[in-house]
């Protein structure tokens, strides 16, 4: 029997498995073997395409146009491309999402961006996560009212390092080079668009520095289900506005607040202090929440008294990652890192009733024995499938009892993936350019990884246990698969986007 003779549903399963490997080359090879396989693969192969801002690639072939649903632009969108940008847009009837890539997006011509926004089928605009600053010239202002706008998703999540970087958008020839405050330009560029899409947007991601909260609180956001604010924590009045804004979003399903903190700010309180009488959270606030991610949360925040029985994902984290504070003095000087203690994590988890929780992420510093916290995690969430722990040693001389930690957690029978950053005392530090040291640490890490994989084999559904691994210019999860899995049993998942930022270029 030939491959092309298989039933169509079987072929689609094969195609789906190839997609999971994230290798389009294999899928293209499969598509070239027969006309039938090409017909099955083509809608997937050409669903996501890439072009350039200059428009020089022209219009795509007619036979693939109906398949293109997501288009990414590469290079730099500058004024000289204002007229040539996007010749393919009128010819892609099913296009629904656009991603604008590139670190240098400081001088976006409004004429070009308007071409995307006014396309009748485009409902999602995303700026690549490595973007530093955005400026739209001229500012869109009232021109946004001159055409229909149906965006359901808008995402701009710039690098957290932009306040520390030698930012290339300030180079000679850039509009930003003469500006004292590029955030003001971002605000003028983006706030009219954000306010314009209030009736249709379902997913909104923005840096808090440019969010027009003072006006957003007075608008109606009937479709908003996912809200993500990143960047640096602003002054207290903005925090109060954020609280007011959230109170207008009773149907919000996912909330991500990842804000770096200044020394004087302490921890972040979203809904204010928990009522002294011990009652629940404010009625009607966040009662449909399914996913919650908070950086440096205040344990006394009333958000932890909101009905959490529908939560399926919880992450109490840091931003930027705490190991940057340990390794890079300029990071610790610029921001504080008030991560939770292990006892505070335990107290929070005990207060929250989460019978449906399947994904949990915690960042904490040990303030003694954290066995009780680990036992609570392993015994309180019957559907927990994905666990990520960043466990830091308060005593920097402590030797991490990794096998002991694993044995406690391995009693969680439902676990499928386990990501562990255990802050080992003998692990290679960030950006160490020493092959001998790197090789030594790799041997130690691999021995631990296989030891942990063997312990976690007690979890019948386990796919892998991963250890956080630092290389010279980035970091990744080294995944160790149990013995029952097929080869290769070691894989790596590289992390390239916030909240896992790339190496900062410190001034």
pTM above 0.95, yes or no: no
Cα Rg, the chain, nearest whole Å:
24
Same domain, 53 and 135: yes
Q: Are residues 262 and 195 in the same domain?
A: no
Task: State whether residue 21 is helix, strand or coil.
Answer: coil
Q: Give 488: exposed, middle or buried? Use CB within 10 Å, 0-12, 13-18, 19+.
A: exposed
In a domain, 139, yes or no: yes
Q: Are 386 and 413 in contact (CB under 8 A)?
A: no
DSSP, res 301: B
Residues 311 and 392 grouped into a single domain: yes
In this structure, is residue 58 part of a structural domain? Answer: yes
User: Do both 113 and 41 map to the same domain?
Assistant: no
pLDDT tens sequence for the chain (507 residues): 677 677 878 777 777 777 766 666 777 787 777 888 888 888 888 899 999 999 999 999 999 999 999 999 998 888 889 999 999 999 999 999 999 987 655 678 999 999 999 999 999 999 987 677 788 888 888 899 899 999 999 999 988 888 776 444 444 445 544 555 788 888 999 999 999 999 999 999 999 988 999 999 999 999 999 999 999 887 777 888 999 999 999 899 999 999 999 877 889 899 988 876 655 555 557 889 999 999 999 999 999 999 999 999 999 999 999 988 888 888 888 899 999 999 999 999 999 999 999 999 999 999 988 999 999 999 999 999 999 999 999 888 889 999 999 999 999 999 999 999 999 988 766 666 677 877 888 899 999 999 999 999 999 999 999 999 877 667 889 999 999 888 889 988 876 544 334 443 333
What's the rounded Cα separation, in Å, for the pair 448 and 423? 13
User: Domain for residue 278, yes or no?
Assistant: no
Residue after which a domain boundary falls, among 203, 219, 235: 219
Helix residue ranges, H only, 35-97: 35-45
Decide: helix, strand or coil at residue 297: strand
One domain, residues 196 and 343: no
Q: Are residues 119 and 208 in the same domain?
A: yes
Q: In total, how many domains does the chain have?
A: 3
Q: Rounded to whole angstroms, how far apart are CA atoms 123 and 116?
A: 10
Regarding whether 94 and 74 lie in a shared domain, the answer is: yes
Q: Tell whether 205 is covered by a domain.
A: yes
Same domain for 237 and 105: no
Is there a single domain that holds both residue 124 and residue 188?
yes
Find the domain containing 214 and state its range. 48-219
């Amino acid at each position: 029997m030939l491959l092309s003779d298989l039933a169509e549903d079987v072929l689609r399963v094969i195609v789906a498995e190839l997609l999971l490997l994230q290798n389009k080359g294999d899928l293209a090879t499969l598509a070239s073997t027969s006309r039938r396989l090409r017909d099955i693969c083509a809608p997937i192969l050409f669903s996501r395409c890439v072009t350039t801002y200059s428009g020089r690639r022209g219009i795509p072939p007619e036979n693939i146009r109906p398949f293109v649903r997501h288009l990414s632009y590469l290079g730099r969108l500058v004024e000289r491309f204002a007229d040539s940008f996007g010749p393919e847009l009128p010819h892609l009837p099913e296009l629904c999402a656009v991603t604008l890539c590139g670190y240098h997006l400081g001088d976006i011509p409004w004429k070009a961006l308007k071409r995307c926004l006014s396309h009748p089928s485009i409902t999602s605009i995303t700026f690549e996560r490595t973007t530093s600053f955005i400026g739209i010239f001229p500012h869109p202002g009232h021109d946004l009212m001159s055409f229909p706008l149906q965006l359901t998703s808008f995402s701009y999540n710039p690098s957290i390092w932009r306040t520390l970087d030698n930012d290339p958008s300030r180079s000679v020839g850039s509009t930003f080079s003469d500006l004292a405050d590029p955030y003001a330009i971002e605000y003028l560029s983006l706030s009219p668009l954000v306010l314009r899409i209030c009736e249709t947007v379902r997913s909104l991601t923005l840096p808090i520095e440019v969010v027009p909260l003072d006006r957003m609180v007075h608008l109606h956001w009937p479709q908003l289900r996912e809200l993500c604010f990143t960047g640096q924590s602003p002054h207290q009045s903005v925090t109060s506005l954020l609280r007011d804004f959230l109170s207008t979003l009773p149907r919000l399903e996912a909330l991500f607040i990842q804000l770096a903190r200044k020394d004087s700010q302490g921890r972040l309180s979203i809904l204010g202090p928990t009522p002294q009488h011990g009652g629940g959270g404010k009625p009607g606030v966040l009662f449909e929440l399914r996913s919650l991610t908070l950086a440096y949360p205040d344990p006394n925040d009333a958000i932890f008294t909101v009905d959490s029985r529908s939560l399926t994902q919880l992450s109490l984290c840091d931003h930027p990652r705490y190991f940057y504070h340990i390794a890079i003095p300029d990071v610790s000087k610029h921001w504080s890192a008030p991560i939770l203690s292990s006892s505070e994590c335990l107290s929070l988890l005990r207060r929250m009733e989460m019978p449906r929780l399947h994904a949990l992420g915690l960042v904490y510093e040990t303030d003694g024995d954290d066995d009780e916290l680990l036992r609570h995690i392993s015994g309180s969430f019957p559907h927990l499938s994905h666990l990520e722990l960043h466990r830091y040693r308060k005593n920097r001389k402590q030797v991490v009892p990794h096998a002991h930690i694993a044995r406690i957690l391995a009693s969680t029978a439902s676990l499928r993936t386990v990501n562990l950053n255990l802050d080992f005392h003998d692990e290679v530090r960030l950006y160490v350019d020493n092959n001998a040291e790197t090789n030594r640490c790799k041997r130690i890490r691999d021995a631990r990884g296989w030891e942990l994989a063997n312990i976690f084999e007690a979890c019948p559904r386990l796919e892998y246990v991963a250890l956080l691994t630092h290389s010279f210019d980035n970091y990744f999860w080294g995944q160790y698969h149990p013995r029952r899995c097929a080869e290769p049993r070691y894989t790596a998942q590289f992390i390239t986007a916030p909240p896992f930022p790339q190496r900062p270029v410190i001034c």
